[in-house]
Structure 1
Amino acid sequence: MFETLIRGATVVNADGPDRRDVGITDGKIAAVIPPGERAEAKTVLDASGSLLLPGLVDAHAHLREPGLTHKEDFSSGTHAAALGGVTTVLDMPTDEPWTASAGQLADKMAMADGRIHVDVGLQAVISRDLSLIPGLLDLAPVSFELFTADVPEDFLFPTFDAVAGALRSFAGADTLIGISPGDQSMLTSSIERNLGGTIAAFLDSRPPQAEAGGIRRAVLAAARTGTRIHVRQINSELGVEAWSRLRDRADTSVETTPQNLFFSADDYETQGARLKGSPPLRSRQDVEALRAALGAGLIDIVATDHAPHAPAEKAASYAAFADIPGGMPGLQTLLQTMLKLVDDGLITLPDVVRLCARNPAERFGLGRRKGRIAAGYDADMLIVDPRQSSSISNAEQVSRAAYTPFDGWTVKARLTSVFLRGHEIVRNQKLVGPAQGKIVTRES
């Protein structure tokens, strides 16, 4: 006998949709059976006419704890994630302090205990002190993050030799290195050239050429060292071209974000600080190139780069556009923005699962328990009703950022229930029950 049986839904995995009933026991998917097959369960849920998707895995988010909790914290950020159908959040290490040592990673794990509404995997940063890596590996973070530009000196690896040297420290380790592509020399020289503080100066400081060069450096360094890497959010035509040419030379994957698939630099004129982030938004031509790459299957993962700031920080007056705190919320709107891409005909529902569930789970060491609706996997699932529409509004956002750049958008589907390890945690856009999330670590 199952604890719970979900009947009548169309199960959507990355390999396609199929009518199936799903039995759940002890937090796991116990069986996926033909529709209507005889089965007993303590609780039977009728999901007829609805879609059943795996819970989403956001591979790039900033929950801001410790040290920056006026912007977001574990509780508020994972609340937003739950409402957005994200049942696993992979949290970046750029808090205060940055998560650079085993002690800092252990402290962060302890802070999250009992306070997270969805599962959270933690990512560690690579500092210049490479002796810290073995201790971090013992705690099995889902990834390590390496930065090539625009970060404090202790975490900066600005050259090919520096990147390759850091990657060699992971020889024989079963892990993943996330690399944010950039070029510190271009950033420094453009700042020296452009003192006006305008939007144009900000764009000039982080040009597509820097992204393309950073991608080339990352992939070639991975090829030289035999390291598994993940290239963080690309958003330019030049970046896509560099990635397309080099991606098969090493064990690589790449991500982009919803905002980069919809907004261009022209939108700074209307949304300004709310859209300011890094990398900067590009031209409409770059957006179209990125959308074409997504439709062609060249992008492996879509993640949010959820990076909220307090409303007062975004609303303050700054001497230069570059000084505005960079980042925007995205966890609560990930599923809806992906469904909007389905509405646009750019991708399909199985693509949503591939980009936002299966691929990030597999790439970040969670592929034997997350990202699929299959026997033995965690019963993290979403019930989506395609017969209803849903809207996105600032008023409904629970992140401490208190807004979304997608305010006013409508999507031709509605998320009605979210399950985490078999327990319904969201019903009709409201949390159900106490925080039940756990810290998840990389599978050995």
Structure 2
Amino acid sequence: MAEPSTAAFAITSTRVVTPEGEVDTAIVIEGDKISELKNRAEIPFHMPLIDVGDSMVSPGIIDAHVHVNEPGRTNWEGFETATRAAAAGGVTTIIDMPLNSSPVTTTVEALRIKQAAAHGKCAVDVGFYGGLVPGNENDIAKLVDAGVMGIKAFLCDSGLDEFPAAGEKELRSALQTLRSKNVPLLAHAEVVGNTITIADPRSYNDYANSRPESYEIAAIKQLIDLCRTYVTPIHIVHLATSAALSMIAEAKAEGLPITVETCPHYLFFEAGQIGEGQTSFKCAPPIRDQTNRDLLRDAVASGIIETVGSDHSPCSPDLKCLETGDFSKAWGGIASLQLTLSVMWTIAKEAGWTPGLLAERLSHRPAEVFGLGSTKGRISPGFDADLVIWDPAGSFDVHGHELGHRHDVTPYENLQLLGRVEQTYLRGKLIYQAGSLVGDRVGKLLHRQSNCLLASRLNSMNDTQLADALETCCASKTWIQQMISGGPFKDDKEVVTRSTEAGQTLGEADWLEAFSAHPRIGDIDSLRQKYANTKSIAGNEQSGVNDASDKVLHQLSAANDAYYDKFGFIFIVCATGKSAAEMLAILEQRLPLSRDQELANAAVEQLKITEIRLRKLIP
């Protein structure tokens, strides 16, 4: 099949995985973007149409955990081979970890060296992380400004002398820096209490017992405590123990910005399958028992675990110690970049998961967490035309020598998997088909879209979810409709601009509708009883009344009554950061105004509140 030109064309399937579910539709692609989804009968006769029948069409996978190792250890893996494997597996974006390359990516200079090494070699889009190590705390802001997708830290020995563990001092410094930039800290969450020793180096059980679950639990508890202090996004990578799920769920319920990744190998394998000396399975944290595996699967289904990344960390075969089977000396890392979709679909068939759930974990949420959510991760108008077309009924046997990554070693050797990738499109260009790459290597080097975090969050919602979220910001139905009708948001600035422009068109009835969703200033009982949709937001905004004296609260209550009696709507003011006394003074200043003047003032305050609440929607 010839590669489509840059002119508009359409791909049609009976099974297109959209945010609204699996649908029979045509995806119209113009340039590198999806322009619209429409009935195939509505496609103009002159537009090229690629009908893939009943093959599944999903958003391209975003693998946010890949060790490419180039430069410096390119004999382990490199950008050319890693992105070849990615394209063959339906992965359209990878994010490269800051270690295993030489130099490690702990400075902007090292980042530039790595980007130069990747230039012109990538079949898919590639983003980069920066690293946190003792002594580079002053480099963190510079790395973020240079566009890294996050900052990675190890809470234990990484295995590389040039990438030592970050202690609490470094973690606190980085979280303070990252808080203002809303960029996540990624953490290898193990705290190793003692020197790791393996009683029998060939015994997998002895290796697993040398890194007990308590190491992960201690690290995750520390990270939750730090997140509570700094309220900076923290992403726990490759969660391997189900024992930490309850504390993670509690932290999320508390509203802490913690997200969690696990890996296909923790969801597919269990320790009982791993024999003596099978070092191709060695990874850290270790693969644990079947009960643990099944509980991790449940957490993926429920959303406690939001993302799944391969943690593709290959090395040269000699470093896996395959001949001796020595777990104490073998490099810890699983090679599986090309297999993520098929492994996850094989699990899905057993667990009863839908293609939509896989798209959420493999595409939607990684895009949101790592600043790509306004352009990637979903099949919707305005998004990059990153697509994987695959046969859910197709099966194949894994043979390492047939995979695209540099070396043959993989723990999936000779296993049968479901879900065979047929084609991969990157920004509207066919890059993989029938077992081989197609065309030139057109992958781009990506930078975090730090000005698109809110837009990303809103764009990830379907219309019902979006309307519900927007209602917590402003209850005017007209305002909500105008926000939605403009289509996907380009960036955060457009969200605020569209909000302001929508506000300028509202009439008195619209404003009164918006005002009616607010509790009275200082009326905490009313807040608790009536305003469930804005309770937590409004309560935080009115925190200044908590320490007010009884005298001020009584005066505020009386002034509220007088205000309502005169104007017919409640007193609206942006209360964030104001004390009860300050709000009372503002109310008394505005009470003598005319109704028209006060309606205009309240509208201005409503827009201020709306903007603040919009930004609180950032996950």
Q: TM-score range by the shorter chain?
A: over 0.9
Report runs of 4+ in structure 1 exceeding 4 Å deviation: 316-320
1:246 is matched with which residue: 247, 251, 254?
251
What aligned pairs does 1:302-317 form with structure 2 within 5 A after superposition? 302-315=308-321
Alpha carbons of structure 1 residues 208 and 45: separation in structure 2 relative to 1, 3 Å: same
Aligned to 1:43: 48
Aligned to 1:92: 97
- Asked if 2 retains the 8 angstrom alpha-carbon contact of 1:8 and 1:48, the reply is yes
Q: Shift of the alpha carbon at 1:96? A: 1.7
TM-score by length of 1: 0.93
- Asked if 1 retains the 8 angstrom alpha-carbon contact of 2:279 and 2:322, the reply is no
Aligned to 1:179: 187
Larger relative contact order (Cα-Cα within 8 Å, sequence gap ≥ 6): 1
**Once the two structures are aligned, what percentage of the paired residues are identical?**
29
TM-score by length of 2: 0.68
2:428 is matched with which residue: 405, 408, 422?
422
Task: Confirm or deny that 1:131 pairs with 2:135.
Answer: no
Secondary structure of residue in 1 paired with 2:214: helix
Structure with bigger strand share is 1
Q: Shift of the alpha carbon at 1:166? A: 2.8
Secondary structure of residue in 2 paired with 1:215: helix
Q: Which amino acid aligns with 2:190?
A: G
Alpha carbons of structure 1 residues 84 and 41: separation in structure 2 relative to 1, 3 Å: farther
1:280 is matched with which residue: 277, 286, 300?
286
- 1:53-103 residue CA offsets vs partner (Å, 9 max, x unmatched): 110000101011111111110000000011011000011010222100011
- Asked if 2 retains the 8 angstrom alpha-carbon contact of 1:7 and 1:36, the reply is no
Aligned to 2:401: 395
Q: Which amino acid aligns with 1:309?
A: C
Aligned to 2:305: 299
Secondary structure of residue in 1 paired with 2:178: coil
Q: Which amino acid aligns with 1:139?
A: A
Gaps of 5+ in 1: none
2:80 is matched with which residue: 51, 75, 80?
75
Q: Which has the larger radius of gyration?
A: 2
Q: Shift of the alpha carbon at 1:177? A: 1.1
- 1:332-381 residue CA offsets vs partner (Å, 9 max, x unmatched): 10110111022113421101100000000111000011101111111110
- Asked if 2 retains the 8 angstrom alpha-carbon contact of 1:306 and 1:329, the reply is yes
- 1:292-344 residue CA offsets vs partner (Å, 9 max, x unmatched): 22233321011100001112222456695222111021111011011102211
- Asked if 2 retains the 8 angstrom alpha-carbon contact of 1:187 and 1:206, the reply is no
| Aligned CA-pair RMSD | 2.1
Secondary structure of residue in 2 paired with 1:322: coil
Aligned to 2:264: 258
- 1:219-252 residue CA offsets vs partner (Å, 9 max, x unmatched): 2211211201111111112122332232334101
Secondary structure of residue in 2 paired with 1:32: strand
Alpha carbons of structure 1 residues 251 and 38: separation in structure 2 relative to 1, 3 Å: same
Aligned to 2:26: 21
- Asked if 1 retains the 8 angstrom alpha-carbon contact of 2:85 and 2:338, the reply is yes
Aligned to 2:166: 157
Task: Confirm or deny that 1:431 pairs with 2:440.
Answer: no
Q: Shift of the alpha carbon at 1:387? A: 4.8
Aligned mates of 2:233, 2:274 — CA distance in 1: 35
Q: Which amino acid aligns with 2:246?
A: E
Alpha carbons of structure 1 residues 14 and 202: separation in structure 2 relative to 1, 3 Å: farther
Q: Shift of the alpha carbon at 1:15? A: 3.9
Q: Shift of the alpha carbon at 1:433? A: 1.3
- 1:418-441 residue CA offsets vs partner (Å, 9 max, x unmatched): 101111111122111121111111
1:202 is matched with which residue: 199, 203, 207?
207
Q: Which amino acid aligns with 2:189?
A: P
Task: Confirm or deny that 1:405 pairs with 2:414.
Answer: no
Aligned mates of 1:54, 1:349 — CA distance in 2: 10
Q: Which amino acid aligns with 2:84?
A: H
Aligned mates of 2:86, 2:126 — CA distance in 1: 10
